[in-house]
Amino acid sequence: MSDPCDICAATHLDPVLEVSLIGLRRVHVHRCRGCGFRQVRPRLTVDQIKALYPSEYFDAASPVGYADYAREFQRRQREAYFLNRWLRGLGPAGRLLEVGCALGFLLHGLKRSGWQVQGVDASAFAAYYASTRYTVPVACATLEEAQFPDARFDVIIQKDLLEHVADPRAHLEETGRLLRPGGWLRLVTPNGEANLRPLLAASRAASATPPVLDQGHLSFFDRRHLGQLFEECGFRCHRMRMVGIVRGLRALGHLPGQRRFVRSATACDAETSVGEPAAVAERGTTGFDALAARIDQDIARRHRGFKNWPAYFHYHRAMKRLDSLPAWCEIGYDFECLLQRT
């Protein structure tokens, strides 16, 4: 193959696993002969990636995407609370960008704490929801398309994003361009082995259809791959931890429950060509109101009670800390990284 590995630039990548991407498109995960990095090849184009996430991705009734908004809202409010506390310890509130901001829950929390927030998300529905509900500006684009000026931001947040982009190295270089020197990048991305091992196990079991890669991940990193990529893209790694240890142990097969991470392609929509971006664009904002209203209700229904108190936030964080370990053990579900632009 001529398109070199993102980590080591080797040009030989071998197919190791056929998967159905969100039940929509059959692709092959390849493994680099040089460094073992695994990635979907050939790379999807930006338009192909965008077509994987129409507004249905945000619909709780849809079989794809994520669903529990009330819980996600609470989770992101807690995250905003602690992120603001930590960042304020370093200096005054400045400009903060979240790439892949979805419905803007985190930015909403940070905006209330005085941050000048900006979001980027390729989903038109996400941009619509964040701007109408929270007056949070969201560019409906990829980071590269958004074309922000150099060194524009003091802080950039990227949660569960790097594994979705077509070219992680180019994406991190662009992220570095947008951060001021000394600025911070908080990045969360899955443990690639925890993502792939359930699918590899399922594909070994006799099955006519490939397993579904439900979340649409395209790259599968380990700690070494991430460390090299960060350094070469101009970041100093201040902290890297594994979080979600119990979930990671299940996915890796060290605890029961690995099969929960896999469903077969037969269980979802028929394999079709991915909806073309034009079809998504044509839909415009029609139907967004109904979906947005449903999400509002969902959030309002649960946005009461002790789970919204800071005391609960602290309790919850203490519990989460018990479910995290240093990155070298590589048994958790996600890598949580704190990086500084050099």
**What are the residues binding Zn ion (CB under 5 A)?**
5, 7-8, 10, 32, 34-35, 37
CB atoms within 10 A of CB 42: 12
Helix 69-88 × helix 310-322 angle, to 10°: 90
Tell me the closest approach of the beta carbon of residue 34 to Zn ion, in angstroms.
4
Tell me the closest approach of the beta carbon of residue 189 to Zn ion, in angstroms.
17
What sections of 113-216 are H helices per DSSP?
Answer: 124-134, 143-146, 168-178, 192-204
Tell me the closest approach of the beta carbon of residue 284 to Zn ion, in angstroms.
42
Tell me the closest approach of the beta carbon of residue 168 to Zn ion, in angstroms.
12
b/e per residue 234-250 (b: at least 16 CB within 10 A): bbebeebbbbbbebbbb
Encoded tokens for 41: 């090849």
CA distances from 52 to 45, 100, 173, 275, 276 (A): 11, 14, 24, 8, 9
Tell me the closest approach of the beta carbon of residue 163 to Zn ion, in angstroms.
16
| Nearer to Zn ion among residue 35 and residue 237 (C-beta) | 35
CA distances from 94 to 73, 77, 183 (A): 23, 19, 10
| Nearer to Zn ion among residue 38 and residue 341 (C-beta) | 38
Tell me the closest approach of the beta carbon of residue 101 to Zn ion, in angstroms.
30
Q: What is the DSSP-derived secondary structure letter of residue 43? A: P
| Nearer to Zn ion among residue 35 and residue 60 (C-beta) | 35
| Nearer to Zn ion among residue 32 and residue 229 (C-beta) | 32
| Nearer to Zn ion among residue 12 and residue 88 (C-beta) | 12
| Nearer to Zn ion among residue 7 and residue 44 (C-beta) | 7
Compute the distance between CA of residue 251 and CA of residue 198 in angstroms, rounded to an integer: 6
